[in-house]
Structure 1
Amino acid sequence: MYQQVLDPVADSLGWSSLVAALPLAVLFVLLGGVRMRAWQASLIALAVALAVAVWTYGMPADQALLAGAEGAAFGFFPILWIVINAIWVYNMTVETGHFDVLRRTFAQVSDDRRIQAILIAFSFGALIEALAGFGTPVAVTSVMLIALGFEPLKAAVVALTANTAPVAFGAMATPVLTLGKVTGQDSDTLGAMVGRQTPILAVFVPLVLVLIVDGRRGLRETWPAAVLCGAAFGLAQYGTSNFVSVPLADVVASLVSAAAVVALVRLRRPHTPPRPAVVAGGAADEPTPEFAARVERAGSGAESAPDSRADVVRAYAPYAIIIAVFVVCQIDGVKDQLDRATRTFGWPGLHLTSASGKPLASVTFTLNYLTTPGTQMLVAGLLTMAALGVGFGRALRAYGATLNQLKWAILTVMAVLALAFVMNASGQTITLGTWMAGAGGAFALLSPILGWLGTAVTGSDTSSNSLFGALQITAAEKADLSPVLMAATNSSGGVLGKMVSPQNLAIAAAAVGLDGREGDIFRRVVLWSLLFLAGMCVLSGLQSTGVLDWMVP
């Protein structure tokens, strides 16, 4: 049995926090400074976390290794199980040519790269986030942008930056529902509070996408479409999460924002930029020969006869099937039946208690075979096979190609989740959180940073809420702050850590064929992540005072 210690270094929470932060510091320095491959950086950071757990926190080596094994298993199921099956469905649409049909329908809306970035990365990506989450929208939308002519690095940056505002309600609001379970707060109330924070973020994200794609000129020429998209998304997300259904918030918001952009483009077509766009204000990256060949292949057949209505219907069929499967599985009666297959057990050999002596819930592993979005995505994939006329052998080869495509991303995700579980089990994350919670009333300003930190490490807003949700409630009670506000802020701040998390960087790099260049992607998104985080900190601080406390339900 291992009991967590919060201040193992000189009985000081501050000094202990510095040591506890070492694995994270190593991870981000190796990624952003040394430009090391994500899987290598993750394994080294995991080794540092194990060393800190054993030699500083006094955790038995076998318990530390078992915690890492549980984290790696959780990284594969349910997280990678969702991503693998979602990318498999996407790869089948590529194999059959229906992805090209889908791409052409988006291109017909507008040939302006800036509008395409808003429509695909933000609105369409939000729909995929609503249905699957866990890195899937980054992989799908970045490849779609490449097919439209975006340079791979730019496509990855745009997709990662866009994958922010929808995250808290992703995978049918799994992060919010999880937050409700770990905090004991009503999930509808928490969803309503999150729906009064992330919609404000949504207004600015499309503007940033335009700035990334084409700098100040893009902002000057296409700001009406960007503002309309963000405002429509934000209003729909707020209205749905507060008055209709928390799980459906992103579904409704994504469709409303896409419809708004399409309607505006029909009335007013922006000028198409004649020169290459830039990434984050820097010089445009020279396209590689592989990228040039990919663009040529994607553009082949563009001058052929228009796609038939039947082809267009089949191109959209996989996404309609996914929506239908997920909606059916959310019906209470169906969900209850599927939940009968769920098995919960204690991780073998792992025995942990908190600093107060209470058993930790993290030692419990849940195999929700049928209720996990990954299995539901697999079912949608089987139905997609029938809808697109894909034979079993062809589908199996596409699955093998998917596993090969994601092999380094799989290793990265499992290593990062192992690191997160070791830090959590040994007490390193609680040390960091408790130290920040000692800020008193100023904790309202720091609360989003905890959420950001949790998602940056685990790559999942759901995991971040599991990690720090209860701590946010405790800190709120000590500082006389609103528990609902602080818990919701953990989730809202967490969405901003998604774009810098190693697992999402690895998924993005794998999707666009830039394995090993995760560090380059990281450097182009980290400033946007920190800028948005600063804004969320200010918003949280104001909502804890008389200035904006009327926004707290």
Structure 2
Amino acid sequence: MSPWKQIYDPAGNILVSSLVALIPIAFFFVALLVLRMKGHVACTITVILTAIIAVAFYGMPIPYLIATGLYGFIYGLWPIAWIILAAVFLYKLSVKTGYFDIIRYSIVTVSDDQRIQILLVSYGFGAFLEGAAGFGAPVAITTALLVGLGVPPLYAGGLCLLANAAPGAFGAMGIPVIVGGQVIGADPFLISRLAMPMLAVLAFVIPFLLVMIVDGLHGLREVWPITLVAALTFTVTQTLVAVFVGPELPDIAAALATLLAIPLFLKFWRPAVSFRFSQGNKEASITGAEQHYNRSDIIRAWMPFVILTVLVALWSIAPFKNLFKSGGPLASTVITFPFPYLNDLIIKMPPVSLEPAPYHSVFKFDLLSSVGTSIMLTAILSTFVLRARPRDAVVIFLQTLNELKIPIYSIGMVLAFAYLANYSGLSATLALLFAATGSAFTFLSPVLGWLGVFLTGSDTSSNALFGGLQAATGQQIHVSGPLLVAANAVGGSVGKMISPQSIAVACAAVGLVGKEGEMLKFTLKWSVLLVLMVSCLLTV
């Protein structure tokens, strides 16, 4: 079959073309926020609208359209749905065996104040998981943990999505920044340093926002010392590592420092009043007061998450990854194949890319090296650590799979939409509208990254999609290309909290399937506020 070259302005007027391109995105927001459709229904209709526009307006060949939708849907199943399934199974295994009560108790002994627990779990532990794994695992695991601690599900999901903006630009061992540098031929180390002035302010502000959302300004006045400690520890550590070491370890180092600093500070200071959600799980609120566990019980309860930390870190380091690369001893366990009717058949054209370049659509089934497998292996090992009968563990897994069947479908449809938007040229049309603003593009550069992550669900994908355009536009308006790619990455980290993929993951983790609109409403205003803040920082 002959290659198809993308057309970015079918109407001959970039404004008109952009209005058409906005139709499925506008529908998605209206469907969730106004019509209050269930997420899987809204995603399905959005995919249908995008497909119609791709064929009728952009002229995308139907065989390529079908292949693109299938490719995106399958990517939603592997590796993303695999990660979510493993994470939720691990959490439910801990709950069903009764050991999560002990985890809850041990966290309460650090602090029974849920404002502080949210800082520990969503801001600290979430950043560690983002730095090591990414791909939805941080939100799925931390959201479930907070619900287990008595935080209402909507707040748990929304707060974890918001907290995930702090480590997002350096997620999964710095891959977003590394890819951004590769796209424009720049040193990722340079992009890492350029991103930090914007990201440092973002990371510093987020803990204060988390507390204010939970308990208002009055609550912030009560716990500002510990909030300040968390914000300073995370921000200073992340900045020093990003500037002097590189993009691979800022999140992991900042998270570990924060997880140590908060309990240490609490040895010398405690809030005068302890806060708990009035609508939280009442059983969770009294567990710490009525139960006492010995040290061995606490160690056993936490072992699944210790194993998780070790395995996720192991799966993320270069020597382990090299085992599965071409020529490595385990390379044969990775199954790859060019996706039929798609690989190298759709051509990205200037000015979106520096020169005509095909989309390499190669599906990779990495059963052993997937991060989801490290989480599933943790769950399997935890079956024995928590002394669960194998038969009971199988029942819990099947129950989890049954509960997640609609969320898994939603995630698949979200990725189908993302790939259709990218491969048809729809997302590039919107990017070119931004680029046409001339000198105002500097302000809009982070917004483009924000839009890119909304469309793709991934900061890495957004940098790969728009990095070339950012650099090319920067050259025209005499602004540093690497600086704009850094802005794309930081803006993208803020866009994650409204990405349909992230929303679906958070809702799936806490049983809010069908209430994706409520979750989006929770995060949208903060996402807009933060991306505008990043834009202002870039233009100062």
Q: Could you tell me which residue of structure 2 aligns to residue 538 of structure 1?
A: 536
CA-to-partner distance for each residue in 1:168-221, whole Å, 9 max, x for gaps?
222232323333343333333333333343222111111111111111211222
* Aligned-partner Cα distance in 1 for 2:310–2:454: 31
CA separation of 1:154/1:328 partners in 2, compared to 1, >3 Å: closer, same or farther?
Answer: closer
Query: Could you say if the C-alpha distance between residues 372 and 490 of structure 1 is closer, same or farther in structure 2, counting changes exceeding 3 Å?
Result: farther
Q: Is the 8 A contact 2:113 2:276 kept in 1?
A: no
1:263 alignment counterpart = 264
Of 358, 361, 381, the match for 1:363: 361
> Offset of 1:316 from its aligned partner?
2.6
Q: Distance in 2 between matches of 1:326 and 1:518?
A: 28
Which moved further from structure 2: 228-237 or 397-406? 397-406
* Match of residue 284 from structure 1: none
Taking the aligned partners of 2:472 and 2:234, their CA distance within structure 1 comes to 33
Structure 1 residue runs without a partner (length 5+): 278-286, 543-553
1:348 is aligned to: 340
Higher mean C-alpha deviation, range 217-226 or range 237-246: 237-246
Amino acid at match of 1:40: V
* Deviation of 1:303 (Å): 4.8
Residue of structure 1 equivalent to 2:505: 507
Counterparts of 1:185-200 in structure 2, within 5 Å, are 185-200=186-201
Q: How many residues align?
A: 526
Residues 417, 331 of structure 1: alpha-carbon distance in 2 compared, 3 angstrom cutoff: closer
Counterpart-to-counterpart distance in 2, 1:224 and 1:458:
37
Q: Which moved more, 1:86-95 or 1:28-37?
A: 86-95
The one-letter amino acid of 2:104's match is R
Structure 1 residues 470 and 501 mapped into 2: Cα distance closer, same or farther (>3 Å)? same
- One-letter amino acid matched to 2:312: F
Equivalent runs, 1:218-237 vs 2, <5 Å: 218-237=219-238
Structure 2 gaps, min length 5: 326-330
Where in structure 2 are the equivalents of 1:285-304 lying within 5 Å? Answer: 287=279, 295-298=281-284, 302-304=288-290
For residues 381 and 445 of structure 1, the distance between their equivalents in structure 2, rounded to whole angstroms, comes to 45
Of the three residues 484, 490, 493, the one matched with 2:491 is 493
1:403 CA displacement? 2.0
Task: Please say if residues 89 and 381 of structure 1, whose CA atoms lie closer than 8 Å, have aligned partners that are also in contact.
Answer: yes
Structure 1 vs Structure 2: percent identity of aligned residues? Answer: 37
- Residues 198 and 492 in structure 1, CA contact (< 8 A), matched pair in contact too: yes
Corresponding residue for 1:128? 129
The AA in structure 1 aligned to 2:4 is Y
Aligned with residue 466 of structure 2, among 465, 468, 487: 468
Whole-Å separation in 2 of the counterparts to 1:99 and 1:195: 37
Q: How far apart, in 2, do the equivalents of 1:421 and 1:538 lie?
A: 31
2:108 maps to 1:107: yes
Secondary structure (helix, strand or coil) at the match of 2:293 reads: coil
Query: In the TM superposition, what whole-angstrom CA distance separates every residue of 1:108-144 from its partner, at most 9, and x where no partner exists?
Result: 1112222222222211222222233223322322332
Residues in 2 aligned to 1:31 and 1:362: alpha-carbon distance in whole angstroms: 33
Aligned to 1:137: 138
Q: Which residue of 2 aligns with 1:314?
A: 300
Shift, 1:508, TM fit = 2.0
Mapped partners of 1:46, 1:419: distance in 2: 5
Counterparts of 1:408 and 1:147, CA distance in 2? 22
Note the alpha carbon deviations across 1:319-355, whole angstroms, 9 max, x for none: 3223322333444443222222444432101221223
2:323 paired residue number:
337
The one-letter amino acid of 2:448's match is L
Quote the Cα distance in structure 1 between the aligned partners of 2:488 and 2:132. 22
Distance 1:533 1:366, change over 3 A: same
Letter in structure 1 aligned against 2:9: D
RMSD: 2.3
1:384-440 Cα deviation digits (max 9, x unpaired): 334334444333333223222322221121111111111111111111112211223
SS of residue in 2 equivalent to 1:25? helix
Secondary structure of the residue aligned to 2:364 is strand
If the length of structure 2 is used for normalisation, what is the TM-score? 0.91
Residues 181 and 201 of structure 1: CA distance in aligned 2, closer, same or farther (over 3 Å)? same
Aligned residue identity for 1:504: S
CA shift, 1:304, in A, is 5.0
Deviation at 1:453, TM superposition (A): 0.9
CA distance, structure 1, for counterparts of residue 492 and residue 442 of structure 2? 14
SS of 1:267's equivalent? coil
- Identify which range, 349-358 or 235-244, moves more after superposition: 349-358
SS of 1:353 mapped into structure 2 = strand
Aligned partner of 1:3 in structure 2 is 5
Distance 1:344 1:438, change over 3 A: farther
CA distance in 2, matches of 1:16, 1:201: 33
Quick check: 1:155 aligned with 2:153? no
- Write the letter of the residue equivalent to 1:495: S
Amino acid at match of 1:203: F
CA 1:177/1:95 → structure 2, altered by over 3 Å: closer, same or farther? farther
Distance in 2, matches of 1:534 and 1:12, equals 27
| Greater mean deviation of Cα atoms: 250-259 or 191-200 | 191-200
Residue by residue, what CA displacement relative to the aligned partner does 1:419-474 show, whole Å, maximum 9, x if unpaired?
11111111111111122112233222111111111212232222222322222222
Aligned partner of 2:86 in structure 1 is: 85
